[in-house]
C-alpha cells in the first residue's frame, strides 16, 4: 500500500516532530478576509479537489464510496448544501461531481468525510487543511501533477485504506 499526506504546507517548514513551524499560515475557510483572500482560498481549494481527481484518474477510478460522514449543520446551511447532503449516506457510490462537492464541503468545515474504493483507494481529511490519500499502487503521474500545481505530497503512513 502507498499513502501520502497532501497539503499546501511546505515540508521544509516542519520541525523534527513533523509540526508546521509557520504559525500565521491560514488553515481554514473561516479565515477568508483575515489571513487569506477569497481568491487565494478558492485557488487552493481547487488544487485539493484536482489532487484527488488526479489520483483517481491514475487509479482508473470514476467513482468512490462514502465511507464516513459527519455533518456540521450550521456549515451545511451556510454553504446552501442541505438538499445535496440529503442525497448522501454511508456506503453510497459517489460520482466525480459529487466527490468535488464533498471535498469542497469538507475543506470548508461544513462536513467531514472519508471516501474509498474497496481496498484500492482512500481519501480522508484532517484538521488544518490536511488531506490523506492511500492507494494500492504508486501514482507517480498524479504526484507529479499535484506537486506541479503547488501542493506538497509527502509519503505518510496511514492506519487504514
User: What are residue 65's DSSP bridge partners?
Assistant: 93, 116
Domain ranges within the chain, ordered by starting residue: 37-155
Predicted pLDDT of residue 113 = 97
Q: In this structure, what C-alpha cell is assigned to residue 46?
A: 481547487
Q: In this structure, what C-alpha cell is assigned to residue 99?
A: 466527490
First to last CA, the chain: 8
Predicted pLDDT of residue 161 = 54
Predicted pLDDT of residue 92 = 98
8 A C-beta contact, residue 131 and residue 48: yes
What's the 3-state SS for the chain? CEEEEEECCCHHHECCCCCECCCCCCCCHHHECCCECHHHHHHHHHHHHHHHHHHHHHCCCCEEEEEEEEECHHHHHHCCCHHHHCCCCCCCEEEHHHHHHHHHHHHCCCEEEEEEECCCEEEEECCCCCEEEEECCCCHHHHHHHHHHCCEEEECCCCCC
Predicted pLDDT of residue 125 = 95
- For cell 482512500, what's the residue? 122
8 A C-beta contact, residue 115 and residue 66: yes
Per-residue pLDDT of the chain (161 residues; tens, 9 = 90+): 999 999 999 999 988 888 888 888 999 999 999 999 999 999 999 999 999 999 999 999 999 999 999 999 899 999 999 999 999 999 999 999 999 999 999 999 999 999 999 999 999 999 899 999 999 999 999 999 999 999 999 999 876 55
Predicted pLDDT of residue 105 = 98
Amino acid at each position: 500500500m502507498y499513502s501520502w499526506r497532501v497539503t499546501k504546507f511546505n515540508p521544509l517548514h516542519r520541525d523534527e516532530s513533523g509540526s508546521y513551524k509557520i504559525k500565521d499560515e491560514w488553515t481554514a475557510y473561516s479565515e477568508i478576509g483575515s489571513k487569506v483572500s477569497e481568491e487565494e482560498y478558492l485557488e487552493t481549494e481547487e488544487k485539493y479537489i484536482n489532487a484527488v481527481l488526479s489520483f483517481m484518474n491514475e487509479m482508473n477510478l470514476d467513482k468512490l464510496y462514502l465511507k464516513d460522514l459527519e455533518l456540521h449543520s450550521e456549515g451545511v446551511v451556510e454553504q446552501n448544501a442541505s438538499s445535496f447532503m440529503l442525497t448522501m449516506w454511508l456506503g453510497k457510490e459517489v460520482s466525480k461531481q459529487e466527490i468535488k462537492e464533498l471535498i469542497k464541503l469538507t475543506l470548508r468545515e461544513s462536513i467531514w468525510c472519508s471516501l474509498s474504493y474497496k481496498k484500492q483507494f482512500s481519501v480522508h481529511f484532517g484538521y488544518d487543511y490536511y488531506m490523506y490519500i492511500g492507494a494500492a499502487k504508486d501514482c507517480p503521474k498524479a504526484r507529479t501533477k499535484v506537486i506541479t500545481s503547488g501542493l506538497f505530497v509527502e509519503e505518510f503512513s496511514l492506519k487504514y485504506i
